[in-house]
Chains A and B, each alone.
Chain A
Amino acid sequence: MTVRIFIPRDAAALALGAENVAMAIAQEIAARGLDATIVRNGSRGMHWLEPLVEVETDGGRIAYGPVKKGDVASLFDAGFANGGEHPLCRGKTDEIPFLRQQTRLTFARCGVTDPLSLSDYRAHDGLRGLQNAIAMDPAAIVAQVTESGLRGRGGAGFPTGIKWKTVLEAAADRKYIVCNADEGDSGTFADRMIMEGDPFVLIEGMAIAGVATGATKGYVYTRSEYPHAIAVMEQAIEIARANGVLGPSVLGSKHAFDMEVRTGAGAYVCGEETALLNSLEGKRGLVRAKPPLPAHKGLFDCPTVINNVISLASVPIVMDKGAAFYRDFGVGRSRGTIPIQIAGNVKHGGLYEAAFGLSLGEIVDGIGGGTASGRPVKAVQVGGPLGAYFPRALFDTPFDYEAFAAKDGLIGHAGIVVFDDSVDMLHQARFAMEFCAVESCGKCTPCRIGSTRGVETADRIAQGIEPEKNRELLADLCNTMKYGSLCALGGFTPYPVLSAMNHFPEDFSPATVVQAAE
């Protein structure tokens, strides 16, 4: 029987040399005349082991990693094609604790299947959700999504079903499904991993959204920084179209739905939904005032569902296994699972999907294994550049929308960036303001001007110029930005700034204080 060897095509694996490893493995297979074939899968999410190569055996898949090009010959010498012992062998992939302890619903197939094999997708329960949906009344689909408790995974946490209901009830001859794949937050890569590792689940989720709301056209708006994801998504859409998953008759039903990928152009603010819609229309990515809501007047003024990649990719399992199945995971009003992205200065970085409710400490110290540098963890930024910095003292905070909000933070897109004790929190606060200044769309004053004044004020604190007065000024400026900005860019930049200042006041007290500012 032909041995199947899995080598990820995920960008993280490629960034760590997967392409060279794949070439070396192909050469060894040819040179040794082995009956083996290479499958380029997505990533399992254990990025400290990438490139993680797996071999399929009778007893399951065996993992080897991190594999370098130079290790390949010795792997074959050790009989790796039959799951042989080798210093890089990690045992059965499914039994690696990092993977075994997860609850993989949205990411069930990611890293397991060939991302561009529709038959693989079907064989792993794919398209069952869409199959169910086309046999249902649109209102019943919306009700099922609502009952599942699924909330927007992009960060805002708005109930997905409610959004869909608004679009379903809006009367229009044209409606759109827009997938927000403009994943610009540092520390996040879940959208990228799904698009590269299981693109059909996103296509299926968007098709279900179309069937449920009467929308016939979908757009995936993603980043130019994600060339690999764009390529995989485009190929997957072609395959889905050729096989009747997309097109004038979705899976042979009376519903039409088609979609395409659109690429942004390096503007972070286009991750904000109304700026994204403007960008899709070919305009500058300026934020729109709400109301009107996109659900009423969205893309080209038509009713539009705009959801994050992970929200849409979580819909197929809800439609396959039912609302209760999904809702039974999680805590409080945070239902289901969340793909936590563990990043930065961390030993075991990667993607960890689990039910809501893990504590921040369990994630950072337990699952992440502490810092990569071996130094103590000083701060953890949760939720991207607009998320708060958490000190160790708040590590008991459970991963849940409301619990984080109660601690003046947000889970955002569930990215966690770990910093060791070498980080200077005043510098991080300054960076948050600088980033906001670079990326501000310019429409509202608090964000456009406040961010630049914020950088200047942080600099004055660092220089020891009237530090007490300038700390007060910075806090006051944050207050203005928080309540006066049009969107989350200006409105949430205060989170990292204020959390840094409140939790790490020692970094905001410069050693030398300059008297007399002028």
Chain B
Amino acid sequence: MNVHLNAADVSTRTRAIVAGCKHLEGPLLPILHEIQHEFGFVSQEAVPVIASELNLSRAEVHGVVTFYHDFRDHPAGRHVLKLCRAEACQSMGGEALAERAKKLLGIDWHQTTMDGAVTLEPVFCLGLCSCAPSAMLDGAVHGRVAASDLDDLIAEARQ
């Protein structure tokens, strides 16, 4: 992921992504997903480009970007650790696990460690409610996460 982007580069690559999705009905969400995949976040520079390509106002695009929890306005850490905060995971000690993660990483929800290694995010349900508590590290799922498993996941992410 390249976080040192110049505006011209963002504009060119954003245009290419929009062109690839324009044939879809309701293309904005697929475009935003691709942009985030490409850049790691949806930058302020990308918004007016998308707006002009789709003939929308900047406000409309901004409204959509900020409505959805998934879209970031700045890059995440090298790894993203998501911990489930929903009821099934609560029933199996999810809250204590989250507190442990915050303490180990020295950050709160939505924050990134000083070394840029890990971003911690809450998630409301990974559909792994029968093997709670659950977590997702960079897209890989983990169930029945015990305190020691969490320590291992964090150590892995910090490397």
Contacts and interface: CB of A to CB of B under 8 A. Distances in A.
Interface of A: 11-12, 14-16, 47-48, 50, 183-189, 191-192, 217, 223-228, 262-268, 279-285, 300, 341-346, 349-351, 372, 381, 385, 415, 417-420, 423, 428, 431, 435, 438-439, 441
B30 to A, nearest CB: 7
Given A187-B129, A435-B124, A15 B91 contact: no
A382 to B, nearest CB: 11
A344 B87 contact: yes
B126 interface: yes
Contacts of A441: 67
B86 interface: yes
Interface of B: 25-30, 32-33, 60, 63-64, 67-71, 84, 86-92, 123-132, 134, 136, 139-144
B130 A15 contact: no
A188 B129 contact: yes
Contact of A341 (B87, B130, B131): B130
A423 B130 contact: no
Contacts of A428: 87, 90
A265 B143 contact: no
A50 to B, nearest CB: 7
B38 to A, nearest CB: 15
A310 to B, nearest CB: 14
Contacts of A300: 25-26
Given A283-B64, A344-B88, A419-B91, A265 B125 contact: no
Contact of B29 (A225, A279, A372, A438): A279
Contacts of A345: 91-92, 132
Given A15-B131, A227-B139, A341-B130, A281 B67 contact: no
B29 to A, nearest CB: 6
> Taking each of B63, B71, B92, B134, which has the highest tally of chain A beta carbons within 10 Å of its own beta carbon?
B92
Contact of B70 (A224, A226, A372, A435): A224
6 contacts: A15-B128, A186-B129, A189-B127, A262-B29, A265-B71, A349-B129
Given A186-B86, A417-B91, A263 B33 contact: yes
A50 B69 CA distance: 31
B68 A11 contact: no
Contact of B143 (A16, A280, A438): A16
Nearest to B122: A438
Contacts of B126: 11, 15, 225
A162 to B, nearest CB: 27
A350 B142 CA distance: 16
Nearest to A348: B130
Nearest to B32: A265
A394 B53 CA distance: 57
Given A11-B127, A186-B84, 7 more contacts: A186-B86, A186-B125, A191-B127, A225-B126, A262-B30, A351-B130, A431-B90
List of 9 A-B pairs having minimum Cβ-Cβ separation, nearest first: A282-B28, A349-B130, A186-B86, A15-B143, A265-B68, A343-B129, A266-B69, A344-B91, A265-B70
Contacts of A12: 127-128, 130-131, 143
Contacts of B33: 224, 263, 265
B108 to A, nearest CB: 15
Contacts of B32: 265
A189 B130 contact: yes
B67 A186 contact: no
A217 B71 CA distance: 28
A295 B70 CA distance: 30
A372 B92 contact: yes
B131 A349 contact: yes
A381 B143 contact: no
A267 B132 contact: no
B142 A15 contact: yes
B63 to A, nearest CB: 5
B130 A439 contact: no
A260 B91 CA distance: 36
A2 B144 CA distance: 34
B67 to A, nearest CB: 4
B127 A192 contact: yes
A276 to B, nearest CB: 11
A441 B127 CA distance: 22
Nearest to A184: B125
Given A15-B142, A187-B87, A431-B90, A344 B128 contact: no
Contacts of B68: 264-267, 285
B87 A226 contact: no
A217 B25 CA distance: 11
Given A15-B128, A226-B127, A268-B124, A385 B29 contact: no
Contacts of A192: 127
Contacts of A372: 92
B88 to A, nearest CB: 4
A14 B89 contact: no
Contact of B124 (A186, A227, A264): A186
B88 A186 contact: yes
A213 to B, nearest CB: 18
A280 B67 contact: no
